[in-house]
Amino acid sequence: MDPFLNSGDTAWMLISTALVILMTIPGVALFYGGLIRRENVLNTIFLSFISFAIVSIIWFVYGYDLAFGADIWGFIGTLANPLFGGVIESNSLSTYAPTIPTGLYAVFQMTFAAITVALISGAVVERMKFSAWLAFIPVWITLVYIPVSHWMWGGGWLAQMGALDFAGGTVVHVNCGMAALALVLLLGARKNSQLLPHHLGYSIIGTGLLWFGWFGFNAGSALGATNLAVSAMIVTNMSAAVGMITWILMDKLETGKPTLLGALSGAIAGLAAITPAAGYVNITAAIIIGFIASICAYYAVSHLKPRLGYDDSLDVFGIHGVCGIVGTLAVGIFATPLINSAIKGGLIAGNPGQIGIQLLAVLVIGVYAFVMTLIIGKIIDMTIGLRVETKDEVQGLDINLHEESGYRLS
Amino acid sequence: MKKILAIIRPDKLEEVKEALEGIGCHGLTVKEVRGRGRQLGITESYRGHDYKVDLLPKTEIEIVTKEDDIENIIQTIITKAQTGDIGDGKIFISSVEEVIRIRTGERGEKAV
């Protein structure tokens, strides 16, 4: 029987796409915007918004084709329809999700590319030139995000090996975490590298939008209004909840008091870690993943970062990178065909080899993202320059780079 | 004539203001300021990391008054702004050479 458009699946994927858009603008933008100095609030929010705009354009000019077009040697897709020419007009259904339009699958994937770039910005806020960020986005999307998403999701070599990443543990979180680490090593520490949030209220709203939008991110990755989407939604919520509680417990044990930013961070840690596993694991596994990811992220941001001395401003590596790694490896342990019949499962389901494949995916994508970002960043540094003038950094970026200020209350 | 400059906890402003009104001291200027005393601020914890916050938000009240009223005003501020904990603030008294009311041009104590 020929595939046909399913209006239920299409409706759910339209909603999921909108939910993921909400995660970047304004979710990430507000989450990050609340955590920095008040003099940089507009610049920080701007980095997310401009990422979304630029990626939106690139994705439909050539990005989708290169990521999801017919595979060339496992490395990249074929650029068959630049400017998405003829695809929408043909009313075709997606080869990746045969009950929804190709265009819908493409725009859903666009939102993943956009949020990955926006997430990186959290590491470089308060000191990166806006012009350098504008240059970074298209180059990084083209040379890093597009190939990596092809390897994992577009039928590339990692997908052919059987590597599993349900909604972006490697493509989104390991990818952005390692890119963030590379950029901060090039940029160096801020003059004032204290994390003293100027407006936690923004971050609370931002995290709420992220948690809410994550249901589109993970349950949407089922690519239809199916039982799998329901399962993914439940484990996503469970992992976030456990991640939050775990971070609060860590706070209590280590510093004596629960903090709200800690609770938000734990929720995001749980969400990031369950992302690669959302469509493959049951609730018990989600509880374990949220618990372990939150502890790992806590140690990464509160012990590893100060010890190594790098200034990952808003802990993109510490939370997204680390939890992406935890979740991707967890797939190799907890994935089960009882949840998703399309896979063989992981260690517990009697397929220990899956751990090795997951580890390979983490290593390859992590190293590739790190090295390529170092090269891209270095070239931008030598041409445009990565870092703002010291004077601009001390006074704040809003007034010096954009000639506007976030607060004029009197 | 004297100037009273009192640095108090921001949450004590309303009480102090009302009490001053009660003793007939109406004119005052209030500023939001930041500062620190001997205790050098407080510690805040974000993502498992402790940060020293050197400068804390405080409220500064400025009152220019006749010398006879000084003690009464000082005692009122102390009574209302005191918690007994570190960070209650300080009061500074200084002399004022001249006061001029812009509306009428009056000078000296008449203009206070």
Full 3-state SS string of A179-199: HHHHHHHHHCCCCCCCCCCCC
Q: In angstroms, rounded to a whole number, what is the distance separating the alpha carbons of residues B106 and B63? A: 18
Top-ranked range on mean pLDDT: pick from A27-36, B46-55, B83-92: A27-36
Read off the amino acid at residue A341: S
* Total Cβ atoms within 10 A of residue A379: 12
- Length of chain B in residues, anyone? 112
Model pTM greater than 0.80? yes
- How many Cα atoms are found within 13 Å in the side-chain-facing hemisphere of B12? 23
Name the nearest CA neighbour of A132 among A403, A377, A401: A377
State whether residue A266 sits within 8 Å of chain B by CB.
no
Are residues A196 and B44, on separate chains, in Cβ contact within 8 Å?
A: yes
Chain A residues with beta carbon closer than 8 angstroms to that of B47: 195, 259, 261-262, 265, 298, 301-302, 315
E strand or H helix that includes residue A315:
none
Helices and strands (H and E) in chain A: how many: 18, 2
Helix (H, G, I), strand (E, B) or coil at A135: helix
CA A295 distance to own-chain centroid: 19
Picking from A196, A197, A254, the nearest residue to B48 by CB comes out as A254
| Residue range A299-320, pLDDT digits in tens | 999 999 999 999 999 999 999 9
Chain B residues with beta carbon closer than 8 angstroms to that of A303: 48
How near does any CA of chain A get to the CA of B54, in Å? 12
Chain B residues with beta carbon closer than 8 angstroms to that of A259: 45-47
Are residues B48 and A298, on separate chains, in Cβ contact within 8 Å?
A: yes
The ipTM value here is 0.84
State whether residue A252 sits within 8 Å of chain B by CB.
no
**Rounded mean pLDDT of B58-81?**
96
Name the nearest CA neighbour of A50 among A109, A135, A139: A135
Q: In angstroms, rounded to a whole number, what is the distance separating the alpha carbons of residues B37 and B34? A: 11
Are residues A255 and B50, on separate chains, in Cβ contact within 8 Å?
A: yes
| pLDDT at position A94 | 96
How near does any CA of chain B get to the CA of A195, in Å? 7
Report whether A377 contacts A386 (CB < 8 A).
yes
Name the nearest CA neighbour of A293 among A332, A239, A366: A239
Instruction: State the virtual CA torsion across B102, B105, B107, B112 in degrees, nearest 10.
Output: -40
Chain A residues with beta carbon closer than 8 angstroms to that of B50: 255
Residue numbers of chain A with a pLDDT score lower than 70: 1-2, 410
Answer yes or no: is pLDDT of B41 > 80.
Answer: no
Picking from A195, A197, A250, the nearest residue to B49 by CB comes out as A195
How near does any CA of chain B get to the CA of A204, in Å? 14
Chain B residues with beta carbon closer than 8 angstroms to that of A262: 46-48
Are residues A196 and B51, on separate chains, in Cβ contact within 8 Å?
A: yes
Answer yes or no: is pLDDT of B38 > 60.
Answer: yes
| pLDDT at position A320 | 98
**Rounded mean pLDDT of B81-96?**
95
Token pair 């265009």 is at which residue?
A103
Which residue intervals of A5-63 are DSSP H helices?
A: 7-22, 29-35, 41-58
Report whether A291 contacts A323 (CB < 8 A).
no
Which residue intervals of A256-352 are DSSP H helices?
A: 260-274, 283-299, 305-308, 322-334
| Residue range A48-98, pLDDT digits in tens | 999 999 999 999 999 999 999 999 999 999 999 999 999 999 999 999 999
